[in-house]
Structure 1
Amino acid sequence: MSTTTQSNAAAKREAWGRLRKLPSGRWQVRYPGPDGTTYTARTDQDKPLTFLTKTDARTWLAGVQTKMARGLWEPPEEIAAKLEAELAVEQAQSLGFEEYSKRWLEMIRTEPNRSGKKRAVGTVRSYQGKVTGYLIPEFRNTPVREIDAARIKVMTDRLDQIPAPLNPNSKFNGITRPVLIVLMMILRQAARDGIIPAAPNVSVPRQESVRHDADHDAGEDVANPIQVEALYEAVPDQWAMAVLLAAWCQLRRGECLGLQRRDIEWHDDGSATCMCDVSSTPTPVATPT
């Protein structure tokens, strides 16, 4: 075969793509994609790719042509985007609970809920108290994906041992249930974020009374007249009126504590009228003589 024939054969082998020797001595590959765009060889991370020898360049080019023939070829930028997404998921799946729960708190503080309304400051503060007071000390840097039903059971058993502040003898402490609710909110969001496949199948117990047991007599909740009188005599003078207002006028604690001297007008017959500016419709309240 003559030299001219050999050159023509080489040109045919490279007719689909182009090989170019760079000033550095390495070889660059360019080829047409199925979309009509001319591509330059790049790595899976979408970085420039060159070859030490012409043979290496031709081998790589042949591999690209084979992928196209089989319908397996993808643009370099799409491959890089997929790898980046996979890496992000992998990193997210190894995310510790403490870091993720703080992200969750920031999300609920700044983003609206499903109804499109911003959460109240008190609601966010309540959630934050559960997270920082109970959940982070419990899980710390445990990967979110490792928090399963069994691990949650360990937490709830531990929380159940905390005495109820209002009634140490109660079977329920009013702590376990709200903490568990917040934890499940976090884990359901983690599932939506793709960090875990799904939130653990954990049922939240129903609300139970903390103050009283099941056999408690509701009548014991109300002080009788003798007890009211005893309490009135026992408290300091500046609070004595609050006892009478709460017992006989049905005022709630906040209403009693919010009263000012100027709100009450005493009458000669021993009665009094209470007029509070905080109400749009002031209501006279008579006190006993």
Structure 2
Amino acid sequence: MSRQAFGSLRLLPSGRYQVRYRHNGERHNAPVTFTTKNAAREFLKRTEREIAAGTWRSAAEDAAEREAVAAARAAADAEAARRGTPFGTFAERWIGHRYNAAGKPLAATTRAEYERLLRGPLAPLADLPVSSIDLATVQDWRAAQLSGGKVTQTARAYALLRSILSDAVHRGLLAEAPRPIRGAAGATTGKRVAPPTADELATILDTLPERLRAFALVAAYGGLRSGELRELRRGDVELTGGDVVLHVRRGVTHAGGRAVVGGPKTAAGVRDVLLPEVAARPLRAYMAEHVPINADALLWPAADGVSHLRQSTIARHWQRAREAAGRPDLPLHALRHYTASHYSAAGATSREVADRLGQASEGIALRYTHSTGREADLVAAMDAAARRA
């Protein structure tokens, strides 16, 4: 131990020097040790001068101040990073961590659709900081999109944009979400899907390849979605006596170049569908001739007989058939409208129509129902009922 006029020095076993000193009755150690005695003495002299000048701070105070400064700087940097996060970067992260109402990751097709909207209609917003997106920005973006005639796509993109910005508010990246634009998320082209007439459906069936006729009949009288039909397997078809019941439990979509099998579009899509004879009889005949006696065999596979039939393949044949029927406006989806309309005309309630289509909402199911040309018969029945009353 070497005592100095102020403080003391101690040679440690390591060969380094430790500095000790007292101030206000408390003993302090220098925050570091020194390689030479001169360096240790210089530290003591400097410390003595700081105490005399009133600028001295203890090592603990210095460390606390450094930590506080570092924390403040880190918080400021993080805040700046958050405020400056580009919309595209945040949106990609949002999709990657998004879960559905059941707590499961997004379906592959939903993810693919969101990514398509980000690359397409939402691309002009990609480089903007999330914090800068306000109502005027959204209005200008929407007007530019609608000017190109993409009404439905713009509505879908706007709905996605609102969801992403809502989460940005929750995460503190945006002060408040832009005020909703009334009707923007539900905009449509105004084109009403009209199902085929009985004669048009007959022409379509005659024009389709033989292997797709039963497919179209089941779609028209069973109300199944295309993905549900393309995933149907022999084991999903119950043949009891003269009845044919389809056990709808799955659907298929294509994303990223591969088939993705999952549950139906909605929980209500899990259902059993009893087919009328007009569709049941042709389906029985088709299965007897074309579907292997194997519970896992697809009813309508691709040309290789094993993989799933693609929607694009059906669309190619459907386009030729609908043109032959004089209905170039007719989407394949119109066959679900055909089911709903005729099921309703046969006396089904709106709930029963929704159940057959696999829709949770009766309101949505009602959109599928259309006039079947029975107005005169219905009015006559009303007259008869009035006379009996």
TM-score bracket, normalised by the shorter chain, equals 0.5 to 0.7
2:158 paired residue number: 180
1:159 touches 1:176 (CA, 8 Å); kept in 2?
yes
Secondary structure at the counterpart of residue 196 of structure 2: coil
The normalised TM-score by structure 2 is 0.45
Residue 146 of structure 2 corresponds to: 160
User: C-alpha displacement at 1:242, in angstroms?
Assistant: 4.1
Q: Report if aligned partners of 1:228, 1:243 keep a CA contact under 8 Å in 2.
A: no
How many residues of Structure 1 are paired with residues of Structure 2 in the alignment? 229
Amino acid in structure 2 at the alignment position of 1:90: A
Which among 169, 178, 189 is matched to residue 191 of structure 1? Answer: 169
Cα displacement string for residues 210-265 of structure 1 (whole angstroms, at most 9, x for unaligned residues):
352xxx6xxx8132233223333333333334444445x34435365566799698
Q: Tell me, which stretches of 5 or more residues in structure 1 are unaligned?
A: 1-5, 30-51, 69-73, 165-172
2:216 matches 1:229: no
Verify: 1:85 aligned to 2:75, yes or no: yes
TM-score by length of 1: 0.58
Find the aligned partners of 2:273 and 2:178 in 1 and give their Cα distance.
52
Matching of residues 1-40 of structure 1 within 5 Å:
23=36, 25=39
CA root-mean-square deviation: 4.5
Q: CA deviation at 1:133?
A: 3.1
2:224 to 252, 255, 270: 252
Flag the 1:79–1:116 CA change in 2: closer, same or farther, 3 A.
Answer: farther
Name which of 89, 93, 114 aligns with 1:127. Answer: 114
Distance apart, 1:89 and its partner CA: 0.7
Q: Distance in 2 between matches of 1:61 and 1:91?
A: 40
Deviation at 1:84, TM superposition (A): 1.3
Q: Compared with structure 1, are the counterparts of its residues 91 and 58 closer, same or farther at alpha carbon in structure 2 (3 Å cutoff)?
A: farther
Following superposition of structure 1 onto structure 2, how do residues 12-161 of structure 1 map, counting pairs within 5 Å?
23=36, 25=39, 53-54=46-47, 57-58=50-51, 62=55, 76-108=66-98, 117-121=103-107, 122-135=109-122, 137-161=123-147
AA aligned opposite 1:84? A
Aligned counterparts of 2:51 and 2:166: Cα–Cα separation in 1: 51
Counterparts in 2 of 1:233 and 1:59: CA distance versus 1, 3 Å: farther
Q: Which runs of 5+ in 2 are unaligned?
A: 7-20, 250-270, 282-389
Q: Equivalent pairs: percent with the same residue?
A: 16
* 1:281 Cα deviation after fit: 5.7
Higher relative contact order (CA 8 A, sep 6+): 2
Q: 1:286 aligns with which of 244, 268, 277?
A: 277
